[in-house]
Amino acid sequence: VGAAAFVSYLFFCDLFCNPSWNMPLDSKERYIQNFIDISEGKYQYYGVNISEFNIKDLEKFCHLSGKDTPVIIGTRDSIGILKHCVGRNWDKHIINFNHEFNLSHDFRDYIRHITHKDMELNIDFKDLENSFTSTKILPFFRNITPIDCEEILPHNALETMERLATKFNFNPPKNKTYFQNYEFKGYLRYILPLVLYANEKDPIFSLEKSVEETPLDRENSFVFIINVNTEPNEDHKNIFKELSQDPISKNLGVYVKKEDLKRIDKEFYAKIKAYLSEFIAEIIRVTKEAEEKILKEKDVLEYLKKHKDISLKFKQMCDEELKYFKQNHPNLVNSWHYYKEFEKLCETFAIN
């Protein structure tokens, strides 16, 4: 839970933690990669991410990780986890487009990729087993620190990471800007980074005027990088505020070399900004639409109220999944509003 954001946060604390979804589906291969990384000493601090359980020989991997190894486990309201599993278009993480483009490119292909598609709610319990994994992973360890998803949201993230840095002896955050970001801003992160090669010879696409797309000229173009908002290095400038004043600027940046800004003709720079402004406006539009349309916890509860068998089966799964948390961190479970509502619902079903 919250793995994408948390792994990114660790990076800004000088702690390298390779996301498990970027690693092989075989535990031996993962173990070898982790062993090499640690042995070479390239990283001052190192973490191992486990975000799924359907990996070959993962039980052995957990054993070999060491029972006393400090473990941070992300958790959240179980109805929130269920909403996250069944309410998103998970095909969006499959990238089938070029991240590089020029001014002649019709940017609507990127926009289509981050547009939310309404779908019928379907709860597949076999799929859920790979998201409700604490009961499978935690028995291998005894030095466990739970982190509620609420603790890594923008209003808490910086304080949480400072506290964890002290507890686990890694560097506290330096880049404080990034901790104000919300990792799941619609589907935006699935298309980033994007790289625009701006060349004066290329025709310029707009929503009002389609043009014939020309080949990329990487050698003779000015490079603009659209990526998550972070503090740029001293050679680059974030020009997002020149393109839009939308609050999404907390999540999104447009970066260009300062030296290039001095070299770009003013008239051409105005054309580049017009193209990017229109692109950014479309990103903002579909991102807001997605956040409005994506399934909410209250929608999941409404569904469960109408499906008694599914509710009772999910309650069994939660009873097993939450054993550790109820025994060791009851206040955490009691803070989950939607899960408490779900428990009341199941009590009603049992009485009836």
Q: What is the mean pLDDT of the chain?
A: 92
Q: Quote the number of domains for the chain.
A: 1
Dist. CA 195–CA 23, nearest whole Å: 25
244 inside domain = yes
The per-residue pLDDT for 138 is 93
| Distances in whole angstroms, Cα of residue 232 to Cα of each of 145, 178, 237, 259 | 33, 11, 6, 14
164 inside domain = no
Dist. CA 111–CA 114, nearest whole Å: 5
29 inside domain = no
| Distances in whole angstroms, Cα of residue 335 to Cα of each of 1, 130, 149, 202, 269 | 17, 24, 12, 56, 52
249 inside domain = yes
| Mean pLDDT within 203-223 | 97
Q: What is the pLDDT of residues 183-194, one digit of tens each?
A: 667 888 889 999
pTM score, whole prediction? 0.84
**Percentage with pLDDT > 70 across the chain:** 99
39 inside domain = no
Q: What is the pLDDT of residues 61-76, one digit of tens each?
A: 999 999 999 999 999 9
218 inside domain = yes
Q: What are the beta bridge partners of residue 253? A: 227
277 inside domain = yes
59 inside domain = no
**What's the domain range around 200?**
188-293
The answer, yes or no, to whether residue 182 has pLDDT greater than 80, is: no
